[in-house]
Amino acid sequence: MRLSRPLEASLTLAVREAKRRRHEFLCLEHVLWAIVRDDDVAEVIRACGGDPVKLQRDLDHYLTQMESLPEGVTAHAFVEISGPEEEQKIDSDIEVVWLHRGDRPVGEALVEAVRALEFPAGRVHAFVHGEAAFVKDLRALLRVESQFPREDLSISGYWRLGHNEDGWQASKRDWNAKIESEQEGATAAA
Protein backbone atom coordinates (compact mmCIF):
# COMPACT_ATOMS: atom_id res chain seq x y z
CA MET A 1 0.00 0.00 0.00
CA ARG A 2 1.35 3.44 -0.92
CA LEU A 3 1.05 6.22 1.68
CA SER A 4 0.14 9.73 0.65
CA ARG A 5 3.05 12.17 0.78
CA PRO A 6 1.57 14.21 3.67
CA LEU A 7 0.96 11.06 5.72
CA GLU A 8 4.44 9.77 4.94
CA ALA A 9 5.91 13.14 5.97
CA SER A 10 3.95 13.12 9.24
CA LEU A 11 5.02 9.56 10.08
CA THR A 12 8.63 10.44 9.30
CA LEU A 13 8.37 13.46 11.60
CA ALA A 14 6.85 11.27 14.33
CA VAL A 15 9.72 8.78 14.06
CA ARG A 16 12.29 11.59 14.17
CA GLU A 17 10.64 13.09 17.24
CA ALA A 18 10.58 9.74 19.08
CA LYS A 19 14.27 9.22 18.23
CA ARG A 20 15.16 12.79 19.24
CA ARG A 21 13.55 12.18 22.61
CA ARG A 22 15.33 8.79 22.83
CA HIS A 23 12.02 6.96 23.25
CA GLU A 24 12.22 3.24 22.62
CA PHE A 25 8.83 3.00 20.89
CA LEU A 26 6.93 5.13 18.44
CA CYS A 27 3.59 5.71 20.19
CA LEU A 28 0.30 7.36 19.27
CA GLU A 29 1.41 10.47 21.13
CA HIS A 30 4.32 10.88 18.70
CA VAL A 31 2.06 10.38 15.69
CA LEU A 32 -0.49 12.85 17.04
CA TRP A 33 2.35 15.28 17.84
CA ALA A 34 3.42 15.11 14.18
CA ILE A 35 0.05 15.20 12.43
CA VAL A 36 -1.30 18.22 14.35
CA ARG A 37 1.51 20.21 12.74
CA ASP A 38 0.02 19.57 9.28
CA ASP A 39 -2.05 22.55 8.09
CA ASP A 40 -4.88 20.37 6.75
CA VAL A 41 -5.11 18.38 9.99
CA ALA A 42 -5.05 21.59 12.04
CA GLU A 43 -7.94 22.91 9.94
CA VAL A 44 -9.97 19.73 10.58
CA ILE A 45 -9.27 20.02 14.32
CA ARG A 46 -10.48 23.64 14.29
CA ALA A 47 -13.59 22.66 12.28
CA CYS A 48 -14.39 20.10 15.00
CA GLY A 49 -14.16 22.77 17.69
CA GLY A 50 -10.64 21.86 18.79
CA ASP A 51 -7.59 24.02 19.26
CA PRO A 52 -4.59 22.55 17.40
CA VAL A 53 -2.16 25.01 18.99
CA LYS A 54 -3.28 24.03 22.51
CA LEU A 55 -3.12 20.36 21.53
CA GLN A 56 0.45 20.86 20.29
CA ARG A 57 1.39 22.59 23.55
CA ASP A 58 -0.26 19.87 25.65
CA LEU A 59 1.51 17.12 23.72
CA ASP A 60 4.86 18.89 23.95
CA HIS A 61 4.29 19.35 27.68
CA TYR A 62 3.31 15.71 28.13
CA LEU A 63 6.25 14.31 26.15
CA THR A 64 8.69 16.66 27.87
CA GLN A 65 7.37 15.96 31.37
CA MET A 66 7.63 12.24 30.72
CA GLU A 67 11.34 12.49 29.95
CA SER A 68 12.88 15.27 31.96
CA LEU A 69 11.97 15.65 35.57
CA PRO A 70 14.10 17.60 38.02
CA GLU A 71 16.23 15.65 40.47
CA GLY A 72 14.18 14.34 43.39
CA VAL A 73 10.79 14.75 41.68
CA THR A 74 8.55 11.71 41.64
CA ALA A 75 6.25 11.12 38.70
CA HIS A 76 3.54 8.54 38.24
CA ALA A 77 1.95 7.55 34.95
CA PHE A 78 -1.25 5.57 35.27
CA VAL A 79 -2.25 3.90 32.02
CA GLU A 80 -5.52 1.99 31.86
CA ILE A 81 -5.61 -0.83 29.31
CA SER A 82 -7.89 -3.80 28.74
CA GLY A 83 -5.35 -6.39 29.86
CA PRO A 84 -1.68 -7.38 30.20
CA GLU A 85 -1.32 -8.05 26.48
CA GLU A 86 -1.48 -4.28 25.86
CA GLU A 87 1.42 -3.36 28.15
CA GLN A 88 4.41 -1.64 26.52
CA LYS A 89 8.04 -1.62 27.59
CA ILE A 90 8.89 1.94 28.63
CA ASP A 91 12.44 2.89 29.52
CA SER A 92 11.92 5.74 31.95
CA ASP A 93 12.56 6.87 35.49
CA ILE A 94 8.83 7.49 35.78
CA GLU A 95 6.81 4.89 37.57
CA VAL A 96 4.38 3.53 34.98
CA VAL A 97 1.45 1.68 36.47
CA TRP A 98 -0.47 -0.49 34.02
CA LEU A 99 -4.08 -0.79 35.15
CA HIS A 100 -5.89 -3.79 33.66
CA ARG A 101 -9.51 -2.83 33.13
CA GLY A 102 -10.88 -6.26 32.24
CA ASP A 103 -14.70 -6.06 32.27
CA ARG A 104 -14.84 -2.91 34.38
CA PRO A 105 -16.08 0.39 32.94
CA VAL A 106 -13.52 2.58 31.18
CA GLY A 107 -11.71 4.78 33.70
CA GLU A 108 -12.89 3.05 36.87
CA ALA A 109 -9.49 1.48 37.65
CA LEU A 110 -7.75 4.75 36.79
CA VAL A 111 -9.89 6.86 39.10
CA GLU A 112 -9.37 4.34 41.94
CA ALA A 113 -5.58 4.36 41.42
CA VAL A 114 -5.33 8.16 41.45
CA ARG A 115 -7.64 8.36 44.47
CA ALA A 116 -5.40 5.91 46.35
CA LEU A 117 -2.22 7.82 45.46
CA GLU A 118 -0.61 9.73 48.31
CA PHE A 119 0.18 13.11 46.80
CA PRO A 120 3.41 14.70 47.95
CA ALA A 121 3.48 17.96 49.87
CA GLY A 122 3.97 21.02 47.71
CA ARG A 123 3.11 21.66 44.11
CA VAL A 124 1.61 18.84 42.05
CA HIS A 125 1.09 18.85 38.29
CA ALA A 126 -1.36 16.54 36.54
CA PHE A 127 -1.94 15.71 32.88
CA VAL A 128 -5.30 13.95 32.49
CA HIS A 129 -6.70 13.17 29.05
CA GLY A 130 -9.08 10.42 28.02
CA GLU A 131 -12.74 9.42 28.06
CA ALA A 132 -14.89 12.33 29.25
CA ALA A 133 -16.73 10.62 32.14
CA PHE A 134 -13.62 9.48 33.99
CA VAL A 135 -11.84 12.74 33.17
CA LYS A 136 -14.76 14.49 34.88
CA ASP A 137 -14.29 12.27 37.95
CA LEU A 138 -10.54 12.92 38.05
CA ARG A 139 -11.08 16.65 37.60
CA ALA A 140 -13.42 16.62 40.60
CA LEU A 141 -10.86 14.68 42.62
CA LEU A 142 -7.98 17.00 41.72
CA ARG A 143 -9.74 20.39 41.60
CA VAL A 144 -12.56 20.04 44.13
CA GLU A 145 -11.39 17.46 46.68
CA SER A 146 -7.62 18.03 46.52
CA GLN A 147 -7.93 21.74 45.57
CA PHE A 148 -5.06 21.74 43.08
CA PRO A 149 -4.79 25.06 41.22
CA ARG A 150 -6.25 25.01 37.71
CA GLU A 151 -2.94 26.22 36.23
CA ASP A 152 -1.22 23.04 37.47
CA LEU A 153 -3.67 20.79 35.64
CA SER A 154 -4.09 19.85 32.00
CA ILE A 155 -7.44 18.05 31.84
CA SER A 156 -9.52 17.23 28.77
CA GLY A 157 -12.12 14.68 27.79
CA TYR A 158 -10.90 13.74 24.32
CA TRP A 159 -13.80 11.38 23.60
CA ARG A 160 -17.03 10.23 25.19
CA LEU A 161 -18.44 6.72 25.25
CA GLY A 162 -21.72 6.46 23.40
CA HIS A 163 -20.95 9.41 21.12
CA ASN A 164 -19.43 9.35 17.67
CA GLU A 165 -16.69 11.86 16.92
CA ASP A 166 -19.04 14.39 15.30
CA GLY A 167 -21.57 14.16 18.10
CA TRP A 168 -18.96 14.53 20.82
CA GLN A 169 -17.19 17.44 19.11
CA ALA A 170 -20.53 19.23 18.66
CA SER A 171 -21.30 19.01 22.37
CA LYS A 172 -17.81 18.92 23.93
CA ARG A 173 -17.35 22.62 24.53
CA ASP A 174 -20.75 23.01 26.25
CA TRP A 175 -20.28 19.80 28.26
CA ASN A 176 -16.81 20.87 29.45
CA ALA A 177 -18.08 24.36 30.35
CA LYS A 178 -20.96 22.85 32.34
CA ILE A 179 -18.66 20.47 34.24
CA GLU A 180 -16.14 23.22 34.93
CA SER A 181 -18.86 25.57 36.12
CA GLU A 182 -20.35 22.94 38.44
CA GLN A 183 -16.99 21.92 39.87
CA GLU A 184 -15.58 25.43 40.16
CA GLY A 185 -18.79 26.44 41.94
CA ALA A 186 -18.24 23.58 44.39
CA THR A 187 -14.62 24.70 44.89
CA ALA A 188 -15.67 28.30 45.57
CA ALA A 189 -18.37 27.17 48.02
CA ALA A 190 -15.93 24.97 49.97
DSSP state of 84: G
Give the torsion sign (CA, 137, 55, 23, 93): negative
Q: Are strands 95-100 and 126-131 parallel, antiparallel or unpaired?
A: unpaired
**pLDDT tens-digit series, residues 39-78:** 888 888 888 777 888 888 888 777 776 666 667 777 788 8
Q: How far apart are the first and last CA of the chain?
A: 58
**pLDDT tens-digit series, residues 69-113:** 667 777 788 888 888 888 877 666 677 888 999 999 989 999 999
Q: Round the average pLDDT of the chain to a whole number and report it.
A: 83
The pLDDT value recorded for residue 142 is: 93
